[in-house]
Amino acid sequence: MLQLGYFSQLENAQAYRESLTAVGIEAQVVAQGEPGLQYYQVISGSAEQPSHLENLNTHIEALSGARGYAVRSPFESTPAADLFTGLKPQYLLAQAAPPVGTEGAAPMRVSGYDPGLNRTPQEEIDSMPGFTVGGMPIIPTLGLSLGYDDNITRASRDEIESWFYMISPAIRVELPSDRSVLSLIAAADIVRYEDSPVDDRDTWYLRGDWTYDISQRQNLGLFAEYREGADRRGEGRRQGDAGLVPIDPDEWERFGYGGTWDYGAVGARGRLTIDAGAWDLEYTNNREGLTPDDPGTTALDRDWWYAGGTFFWRVAPKTSLLADYRYTDMNYKTAVDSDSEIHTWALGVTWEASARTTGRIQYGNQKRKFADPTKEDYNGPAWMASVTWRPRTYSLFTLQGTRSTQEPNGNGDYVLRQDITLSWLHDWNDRFGTHVDVGYGEDDYRPNGRTEDLFYWGVGGRYAFNQHFRFGASLNGYDRDSADPEFDYKRMVFLLTLEASF
């Protein structure tokens, strides 16, 4: 049979079935799972031969733009038919938390492989690791990595190279109910360098997410997060020659909370998303500067809050126009002359032309106004794009790009950053897959005139021994060309990883 959708709420599944019926597709809703933990399949069609089912799938895609997954009939009385006894959210092994400190780092982002690339939703659920205690799924994982970094401090001279290892334990707990799911995550990265112990670091991560289906038209999501991390030598205020000073990385604590409210039923012409939140960032060491003119990490302490929303207007079955607005109020605790207000608006389009192609593109304006009238404000273009293309179920291309202003971390008043990345993920068989990434970015530190070009590439692969063990290898390269030669660098990182779930 073909599964065209699955939902946590019966009302949403029924609404989706009605939208399919409206374009001439017969479908039905089937409940799966234990009472109180049920999910709902929207299924259509039946065929004995795979080729017949594929022809039906093509016909459904032509009518609705939706493409289904071939699944076992839920009416068969075999244990394999119990496809929805697990939780819907997918979990990536040893990736319970994103790497601390990598936010906004594209194209220098961490390269990774998506283990769910060539899985149906049922296969993803069936393959989820962990165990259940009192109705609560618990997913512990452990990642062990061995790597080599040939330029730890991203230096243009006197490069420091070293082997290193990383231990990444994580645990995720789900607390489901009839209309909501509470997810709790704890994770850590413990990194040790053989030849450069001053660069050793420990990062910790705690996060809670609560999603609640208020009604057929409304959904609410709340989160709270706490992190302890570090800006490594060569990052933040420690770029260039400052990264060669042999003192510990700049350590920090960050706490944040917020939420998102969605309004609009499945298939509705208009939808609205509103989000808001607040963050507090405080550094805990290196409070004194490296030189008399350096205020140290004290000048980087800040808190900020944000609010915004996106309105979607459907103009075709799988295409919507959008209007987006975001406001951010940035407040520094000691360097108050860096306080600013940021207004960002954009118009765009989002589409899901078929199961093979999806995307979101928006273009607009960003205005950053400083509280200090002597600082130069920014008022210029801002844009974001994300397009995915899946030529086969086992192959995925993703193109992403952004342009916006960022906090300078002591290097100027702000950074105007734009970047673009292209990635290709491919499953060669059920156990082995590869990834390739390339990226290019430009940073403009204003008003000091420092400009930089960064080229990034990465290749890697993974092999799944079984449901509980996965081996991976990757090689990543970076090349930064700066208007100031002090900030030029070339860097290559090799990594072997064993991921285990229990």
| Domain end residue (candidates: 81, 109, 129) | 81
Q: Are 130 and 71 within one domain? A: no
Q: Are 395 and 492 within one domain? A: yes
As a whole number of angstroms, the distance between CA 148 and CA 165 comes to 9
Q: Are 43 and 125 within one domain? A: no
Q: How far is CA 193 from CA 147, 235, 325, 459, 497, in A?
A: 9, 17, 44, 23, 16
As a whole number of angstroms, the distance between CA 335 and CA 340 comes to 11
Q: Are 209 and 67 within one domain? A: no
As a whole number of angstroms, the distance between CA 346 and CA 344 comes to 7
Q: Are 296 and 378 within one domain? A: yes
Please indicate, yes or no, if residue 108 is contained in any of the structural domains: no
Please indicate, yes or no, if residue 87 is contained in any of the structural domains: no
433 token code pair: 């897959």
pLDDT, position 424: 96
pLDDT, position 107: 33
Q: Are 222 and 317 within one domain? A: yes
Q: Provide the whole-model pTM.
A: 0.75
Instruction: Name the strand (E) or helix (H) holding 124.
Output: helix 121-127
Please indicate, yes or no, if residue 24 is contained in any of the structural domains: yes
Please indicate, yes or no, if residue 154 is contained in any of the structural domains: yes
Give, for all 502 residues of the chain, the pLDDT tens digit. Answer: 677 776 656 666 767 777 777 767 777 777 655 444 455 677 777 666 666 666 777 777 666 666 666 665 654 443 333 322 222 222 222 223 233 333 333 333 233 334 344 444 444 444 556 777 777 888 899 999 999 999 999 999 999 999 999 999 999 998 888 788 899 999 999 999 999 999 999 999 999 999 998 888 899 999 999 999 999 999 988 899 989 999 999 999 999 999 999 998 767 889 999 999 999 999 999 988 767 677 889 999 999 999 999 999 999 888 999 999 999 999 999 999 999 999 999 999 999 876 688 999 999 999 999 999 999 999 999 999 999 998 888 899 999 999 999 998 877 899 999 999 999 999 998 899 999 999 999 999 998 889 999 999 999 999 999 888 999 999 999 999 999 999 999 999 999 999 998 7
Please indicate, yes or no, if residue 272 is contained in any of the structural domains: yes
Q: Are 171 and 77 within one domain? A: no
Q: Are 162 and 14 within one domain? A: no
Q: Are 50 and 193 within one domain? A: no
pLDDT, position 140: 93
492 token code pair: 């290559």
Q: Are 153 and 280 within one domain? A: yes
Q: Are 202 and 61 within one domain? A: no
Q: Are 312 and 459 within one domain? A: yes
As a whole number of angstroms, the distance between CA 5 and CA 107 comes to 33
As a whole number of angstroms, the distance between CA 44 and CA 61 comes to 12
Please indicate, yes or no, if residue 485 is contained in any of the structural domains: yes
pLDDT, position 410: 74
What is the total count of domains within the chain? 2
As a whole number of angstroms, the distance between CA 241 and CA 237 comes to 11
| Domain span including residue 20 | 2-81
CATH number (domain holding residue 488)? 2.40.160
CATH number (domain holding residue 39)? 3.30.70.1070
Please indicate, yes or no, if residue 104 is contained in any of the structural domains: no
